[in-house]
Amino acid sequence: MRTPITSVDGRWVLPGVANLHSHAFQRAMAGLAERMTHPSDSFWTWRETMYRMAARFDPDALHAVAAQLYAEMLEAGYTTVCEFHYLHHAPDGRPYDDPAAMSRALIAAARETGIRLTLLPVLYMTGGFDGRPLNDRQRRFGHAVDAWLRLFETLHREQDDMLRVGCALHSLRAVPPEAMTTALAALPRDARIHIHIAEQIGEVQDSLAIRGDRPVRWLLDHAEVDARWTLVHATHLEVDEIVGIADRGATVAICPTTEANLGDGLFPLRDHLDAGGAWGIGSDSHISVSPVEELRWLEYGQRLATKHRNIVATEAMPSVGDALLRGVQASAEASTGFASATTAGDAVVLDGDAPQLVGATPEDIADRWIFSGNRPLVRTVTVNGREVVADGRHRDRDAIAARYAAAMRGLLAG
């Protein structure tokens, strides 16, 4: 099979990459959670830092941070982003006068920067599998099902060629079974559905203790999981769960840099591929905003775990780079909701004059882009027929960066 990167008029061109999992506000805390707060620091202690940052946002700050992030994504080669959005209300939990104000801030940032957006308003109701209420730090995330459905319907009416609106269930621990059933039954049949699941061993243990089964197994047995579903992380799986995900046609969104940063663990990629499973990548907490780094560390993590090389390659596709790019291409439509015919004109052009690409051929260009260093190689990005990146710079980089800097000063002073 040929590489997804093609030579057009002497330039190396690849389709835009879909980023399947983003929490835009967390771009503001990248690098600010790397100090020890507990002898056994983990995801759960990191979450306390995240709560403190989340409490400082309003719609203007969210717009500024998201625009900066989305411009960075475009410069790196992402052309579509799935925004897993749970920062809905004011910090005290009261809805804004416009209950969709925070969602509209994200839409405005996407439209300003020119990235395709799959907005996934999150249903978030409880603080654990035991059904305990949301705590004070989580209150601004929460909805009752009827209020969440009103938000979804409001946003869904605004879909166009650059915007899709789907559903995010925060996690099984945050959405009781009856609420999940009610929400899913009310969705349009073409709505994409994303959910955090099996990210942490503690989550798996709680699910076993309270629901009597592992999270993915429980979901497969209690929901009509199919190709509309994207399971985010799904790090801790047993063989029957891997096979079940693949058989249902669901996609797994793997976020290697965030999963490494949080100490989550390694997704069983080779077993998933052998089962015929679909997968994509996400930058999640945005400690890195680079499809190259996500793809590189997806492969490297597997090499470290197995002590072998070239894990995603096969006899039919011996190039690791080709296999990685084919994987993210194959899952994009199912996860984002944007038909391939709609995104066919989205393109990323690499810097053919870069030292890393001297003498590149169709057989090695994907490997050289992903595995030959850290110099950014994206020169031009076109989305929906508009050039949004030229000479490696977003068209509005300076204005967006200035607004981001002002917003960050306010957030850090909070």
DSSP letter (8 states) at residue 267: -
Q: How many CA atoms lie within 13 A of 137 on its CB side?
A: 9
80 φ, ψ (degrees, to nearest 5): -135, 140
Q: How many CB atoms lie within 10 A of CB 239?
A: 10
DSSP letter (8 states) at residue 12: E
DSSP letter (8 states) at residue 314: -
Q: Residue 141: which of 200, 60, 221, 55 has the closest Cα?
A: 55
Q: How many CB atoms lie within 10 A of CB 391?
A: 7
Q: Which residues are the active-site residues?
A: 233, 284
- Mapping DSSP to helix (H, G, I), strand (E, B) and coil, where does residue 86 land? coil
Q: Residue 377: which of 347, 345, 349 has the closest Cα?
A: 349
- Residues contacting 380, CB < 8 A, separation 6+: 347, 348, 349, 387, 389, 390, 391
Give the Å distances, CA to CA, from 380 to 14, 144, 281, 372, 395: 11, 44, 21, 19, 10
Scored b (16 or more CB within 10 A) or e, 241-260 reads: bbbbbbebebbbbbbbbbbb
Q: How many CB atoms lie within 10 A of CB 346?
A: 24
Instruction: Give, for 341, the enclosing helix (H) or strand (E).
Output: helix 340-343
Give the Å distances, CA to CA, from 212 to 45, 218, 221: 26, 8, 12
- In 108-183, DSSP assigns E strands to 116-123, 163-165, 167-169
Q: Residue 337: which of 162, 170, 76, 154 has the closest Cα?
A: 162
